Protein backbone atom coordinates (compact mmCIF):
# COMPACT_ATOMS: atom_id res chain seq x y z
CA UNK A 1 0.00 0.00 0.00
CA UNK A 2 1.11 3.54 -0.66
CA UNK A 3 2.10 5.75 2.25
CA UNK A 4 0.97 8.83 0.35
CA UNK A 5 -0.69 11.64 2.27
CA UNK A 6 -4.43 12.03 1.93
CA UNK A 7 -4.36 15.82 2.25
CA UNK A 8 -3.00 18.25 -0.31
CA UNK A 9 -0.80 21.04 0.98
CA UNK A 10 -1.52 24.70 0.31
CA UNK A 11 1.66 24.83 -1.78
CA UNK A 12 0.44 21.94 -3.96
CA UNK A 13 -2.93 23.64 -4.42
CA UNK A 14 -1.25 26.90 -5.40
CA UNK A 15 0.96 25.04 -7.89
CA UNK A 16 -2.04 23.26 -9.41
CA UNK A 17 -3.99 26.51 -9.71
CA UNK A 18 -1.02 28.17 -11.36
CA UNK A 19 -0.72 25.35 -13.88
CA UNK A 20 -4.46 25.37 -14.60
CA UNK A 21 -4.41 29.12 -15.06
CA UNK A 22 -1.58 28.88 -17.56
CA UNK A 23 -3.46 26.22 -19.57
CA UNK A 24 -6.87 27.86 -19.79
CA UNK A 25 -7.36 30.33 -22.65
CA UNK A 26 -9.73 32.49 -20.60
CA UNK A 27 -7.34 32.67 -17.64
CA UNK A 28 -4.40 33.58 -19.87
CA UNK A 29 -6.31 36.54 -21.32
CA UNK A 30 -6.76 37.99 -17.85
CA UNK A 31 -3.03 38.26 -17.46
CA UNK A 32 -1.55 38.33 -13.99
CA UNK A 33 -4.77 38.74 -12.02
CA UNK A 34 -5.46 35.69 -9.84
CA UNK A 35 -8.85 34.08 -10.03
CA UNK A 36 -10.29 32.41 -6.98
CA UNK A 37 -9.69 28.68 -6.76
CA UNK A 38 -13.34 27.79 -7.19
CA UNK A 39 -13.73 30.06 -10.22
CA UNK A 40 -10.59 28.66 -11.82
CA UNK A 41 -11.74 25.09 -11.24
CA UNK A 42 -15.16 25.92 -12.69
CA UNK A 43 -13.48 27.42 -15.77
CA UNK A 44 -11.36 24.27 -16.06
CA UNK A 45 -14.45 22.07 -15.98
CA UNK A 46 -16.23 24.26 -18.53
CA UNK A 47 -13.20 24.18 -20.82
CA UNK A 48 -12.98 20.38 -20.59
CA UNK A 49 -16.71 20.13 -21.37
CA UNK A 50 -16.27 22.35 -24.43
CA UNK A 51 -13.37 20.17 -25.60
CA UNK A 52 -15.58 17.09 -25.18
CA UNK A 53 -18.32 18.72 -27.27
CA UNK A 54 -15.78 19.60 -29.95
CA UNK A 55 -14.47 16.01 -30.05
CA UNK A 56 -18.04 14.68 -30.25
CA UNK A 57 -18.83 17.05 -33.15
CA UNK A 58 -15.66 16.04 -35.00
CA UNK A 59 -16.44 12.38 -34.42
CA UNK A 60 -19.93 12.84 -35.86
CA UNK A 61 -18.55 14.66 -38.89
CA UNK A 62 -15.95 11.96 -39.48
CA UNK A 63 -18.58 9.23 -39.18
CA UNK A 64 -20.77 11.01 -41.71
CA UNK A 65 -17.85 11.40 -44.11
CA UNK A 66 -16.85 7.78 -43.83
CA UNK A 67 -20.43 6.59 -44.31
CA UNK A 68 -20.61 8.32 -47.69
CA UNK A 69 -17.15 7.68 -49.09
CA UNK A 70 -15.77 4.83 -51.11
CA UNK A 71 -13.81 2.75 -48.58
CA UNK A 72 -11.22 1.89 -51.26
CA UNK A 73 -10.50 5.53 -52.12
CA UNK A 74 -7.31 7.42 -51.36
CA UNK A 75 -9.28 9.68 -49.01
CA UNK A 76 -10.46 6.67 -46.99
CA UNK A 77 -6.89 5.38 -46.79
CA UNK A 78 -5.69 8.74 -45.45
CA UNK A 79 -8.35 8.68 -42.75
CA UNK A 80 -7.49 5.08 -41.81
CA UNK A 81 -3.81 6.01 -41.58
CA UNK A 82 -4.63 8.62 -38.96
CA UNK A 83 -5.86 5.86 -36.66
CA UNK A 84 -2.83 3.60 -37.00
CA UNK A 85 -0.25 3.58 -34.21
Q: Specify the pLDDT at position 55.
A: 94
Other beta carbons within 10 Å of 21: 19
pLDDT interval class at 2 (50, 70, 90) = very low
Q: Specify the pLDDT at position 80.
A: 85
Quick: pLDDT tens for 8-57: 788 887 788 788 877 776 665 555 455 577 787 888 888 889 999 999 99
> Is residue 73's pLDDT more than 60?
yes
Backbone torsion region of residue 84, taken as left when φ is above 0, otherwise alpha when ψ lies between -120 and 50, otherwise beta: beta
Give the whole-angstrom CA distance, residue 12 versus residue 9: 5
Give the whole-angstrom CA distance, residue 57 versus residue 74: 24
> pTM of the full predicted structure?
0.57
Q: Specify the pLDDT at position 56.
A: 94
Give the whole-angstrom CA distance, residue 71 versus residue 85: 20
Amino acid sequence: MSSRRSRISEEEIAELLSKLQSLLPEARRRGTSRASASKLLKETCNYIKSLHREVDDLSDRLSEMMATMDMDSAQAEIIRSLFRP
